[in-house]
A and B are shown apart, each in its own frame.
Chain A
């Protein structure tokens, strides 16, 4: 989702989010590559997860590539998406953005608490996805990557007039942010992908 947001924002100014060369199962020009149902390293390869089913990985998009961030989808990013953040260091952003943009996703800081990370995620949606209504459903403790993490559940209405639901599970480990986000249309798509998401979150471990 994270990169998708950047794509949507840029989609009108450049041809689209089809960046990337290479082949794979989907052909030379496909913006996606297949994720097999096995152990996968994501982001900058410091996070390992086990996918219970096949997913589609968005190719790194050369304009908007944050090396700690990776996006997957099943039915296309406007219906569902899973995003991985693999140890974002303090002082970095979840998305590439112009320093001069009026509206900006806040910078991550190493000493952020879970409520602050949750607020940063909320601003990500409001700034980059055109979210006009954002509702926190719950913020609660949850173990993640072998440490005390958090689970953040929320719903958001975007300017395409669709309600979406999201769940972010994360933890700050040695000052770096590890996060997995599931985001999908509130009707059907979120729930359909939720079992895979749960399995992936529970399988996540940091590669040292």
Chain B
């Protein structure tokens, strides 16, 4: 392989592509039925390469397990552990799963059988089946020994590869694409960005994952739906910033992969769906599991002021029904976007949120502030008083009380 090809390809989003460019990998669907797990319960590394890899990753896992970026909520982590235990295939009981507070659409599986799920993934999943699909996909990488296979393939270029990937701010892992700004992530983020798989391996993990999903009674089509959501979110985010979607999402620009992977997943899903069998997407269970952190997940996303992505996420979640929390964060998107007319749009959004019984206290706060700016003093006071009544110890209570006292407001 010429260095030019490999460098370009790496900058384009993964050494993975370099391999397929050079070898001309055929785009043929991998059959779920062909995906036999290569790893069973209690698996230990066999040869020298693998033992070395396991040793290195034991240190990485130690680092991750001790990170203060992890969300350690016991109920939620138990839920994730149960989920990987369910869809993790034959080695499920040996797998570990960590939840990192990073507002990006990502999940990563490490060669020794531990996974890191980003909080941004939990925000975007509409039901348990979608999350189980991502986890099953990740488990597929482990069960099919992808890390070892890829590492052998790429050993010679690993170092330069990681430098380039970080330097370009581009990395793909887990679900396939990582679109966050790696330059802002610290050590943990850098570690997470280094695992990338080539297209064939991703297709294998898709097929394996779809199979694990169906075997556990989840509708396998949800994997394709997750992919669709990722692609559409990227498109809308790019459109808002007046970019062409293909230009900045490099993995997508050099390859029709996401679309073709999605098409393959749809075919695999219909192949795996047994007519007459009842599939449960586990939506109620999922919402109950993330209920406590959902406001935080929305907050973390919306305050990044990426209006296209945030709007897409909220619209997608709202397909299952609007509520006060989603309406409030929709208004927050407009307030932070801050284009001409957005203040009015946000004001209307806060007012709309208050029509729902679950409107958060902050909806009253911002509703009151917007009314004040519009010169509606009496209504503003009423809303701000309502906010203080709901949240008497709010961190900004002192400031709001002063606003209530000022005669000219």
Contacts and interface: CB of A to CB of B under 8 A. Distances in A.
B235 to A, nearest CB: 12
Contacts of B103: 132
A9 B181 contact: yes
Interface in B41-57: none
A139 B401 CA distance: 11
B407 interface: no
A121 to B, nearest CB: 11
A14 B167 CA distance: 10
A132 B102 contact: yes
B101 interface: yes
B69 A9 contact: no
Contacts of B300: 126, 132
B395 A12 contact: no
Interface stretch (B26-34, B88-96, B236-244, B273-281): B236-244
Nearest to B185: A159
A12 B68 CA distance: 24
B128 to A, nearest CB: 25
Interface size band for A = 35 or more
Given A11-B183, A140-B398, A126 B237 contact: no
B241 A101 contact: yes
Contacts, number: 117
A191 interface: no
B67 interface: yes
A101 B242 CA distance: 10
Given A106-B305, A138-B395, A157-B69, A129 B336 contact: no
A106 B338 CA distance: 7
Interface stretch (B134-142, B186-194, B198-206): B186-194
Which applies to chain A's interface (DSSP): helix, strand, loop or mixed? mixed
Contact of B399 (A106, A141, A163): A141
Interface residues on B, range: 35 or more
Interface in A12-66: 12-13
Interface stretch (A107-115, A169-177, A194-202): A107-115
A157 B71 CA distance: 13
A40 to B, nearest CB: 29
A140 B140 CA distance: 52
> Interface centre among A106, A118, A130, A132, by most B CB within 10 Å?
A132
Contact of B183 (A9, A109, A122, A157): A9
A9 B184 contact: yes
9 contacts: A100-B243, A102-B179, A104-B306, A126-B304, A130-B184, A132-B102, A139-B398, A159-B102, A159-B185
Given A107-B338, A127-B305, A133-B101, 13 more contacts: A8-B183, A13-B169, A103-B304, A106-B336, A109-B338, A129-B184, A132-B103, A132-B300, A139-B399, A141-B399, A157-B68, A159-B69, A160-B186
Q: Which 10 A-B pairs give the minimum distances between C-beta atoms?
A: A130-B184, A139-B396, A160-B186, A140-B398, A159-B186, A136-B395, A139-B399, A103-B304, A159-B185, A103-B306
